[in-house]
Amino acid sequence: MFTPRKTHLLLPQEAEQFTAQLTRFRRKLEEESGEPVEGMEVNAALLLLDVSKFMGLNETQACDVLGKSAAAHVAVILETQVKLKN
């Protein structure tokens, strides 16, 4: 679990906007999964990818957020999901 530090990365007005964006993201997760966020078990790498996409990052930027190992892991998961749908 992430332990926040006392330093703040966002200005107060930025924090309000970020809060609103993350709230919309949570609601989207709940809507798409059909369950409340506290009942979800998620892969952290997939969650970071979803947050990155939701925040408007491109694929390269999202991969930078994930790091090389997690990006490769997510690619395998997504490839497997595509194969299962076909």
Q: What is the pLDDT of residue 86?
A: 65
Listed in sequence order, the residues at least 6 apart from 53 whose beta carbon sits closer than 8 Å to its beta carbon are 62
Query: Which residue from 76, 77, 51 is spatially nearest to 62, judged by alpha carbons?
Result: 51
Q: How confident is the model at residue 64 (pLDDT cuts 50, 70, 90)?
A: very high
Q: How confident is the model at residue 4 (pLDDT cuts 50, 70, 90)?
A: low
The structure tokens 């694929």 sit at 59
Domain ranges of the chain: 11-41, 43-86
Query: Which residue from 60, 24, 29 is spatially nearest to 47, judged by alpha carbons?
Result: 29
Kindly state the tokens that stand for 63: 């991969």
